[in-house]
Amino acid sequence: MPPQVKEAFKNVDLILHAGDIYQLSVLDELEQIAPVLAARGNGDTKLPPDPRIKESQVLTLDGMSLGMTHSVEYPEPPWCTIEKAMEREFGGPVEIIVSGDTHVAIVESYKGILIINPGSPTLPNGMYQLGTVGLLEISAGRVEARIIQLR
């Protein structure tokens, strides 16, 4: 893991990994910073079972509902609305969606839902190079998300 990731996450309370973990040692390293929850990515088919990893995670953080899964079709394709995707992945609506499949960093609001893809610290846009992580702050009903370019 690049040392820039540790620096970016040094004061966080929880780390969410949206999949394509490849090695459990990545979660172990991240867990030295803060507790970790992860979604199983399409690159994680050979990972052994681990209690930190689920197909999707649904959390309530400071009163806000957050769903994390590896892949949510966004922008919304004609064959699957965001509402259908939330039902399939999370069992119903959430206020925040975190996904990672494309490795392309975004923070956007769509239909009142905050959509976050943190990109990838080591494989952004499918290229091996230093990339991005996302920071999400939830406090008193306010949500702020931003992408950090690692340098």
Burial state string for 96-133 with b = 16 or more CB within 10 A and e = fewer than 16: bbbbbbbbebbbeeeeebbbbbbbbbbebeeeeeebbb
pLDDT over threshold 80, residue 6: yes
For residue 106, what are the contacts with CB-CB under 8 A and spacing of at least 6? 74, 115, 116, 117, 147
Listed in sequence order, the DSSP H helices in 49-139 are 82-90
For residue 18, the SS3 value is: coil
For residue 7, what are the contacts with CB-CB under 8 A and spacing of at least 6? none
pLDDT over threshold 80, residue 115: yes
pLDDT of residue 117: 98
pLDDT over threshold 90, residue 71: yes
pLDDT of residue 66: 98
pLDDT of residue 61: 96
Helix or strand holding residue 6 (H, E): helix 3-8
Q: Encode pLDDT of 9-24 as tens digits.
A: 999 999 999 999 999 9
pLDDT confidence band for 126 (50 / 70 / 90): confident
Domain boundaries, the chain: 3-149
Length of the chain: 151
CATH number of 3-149: 3.60.21.10
Q: Encode pLDDT of 36-61 as tens digits.
A: 999 999 999 999 999 999 999 999 99
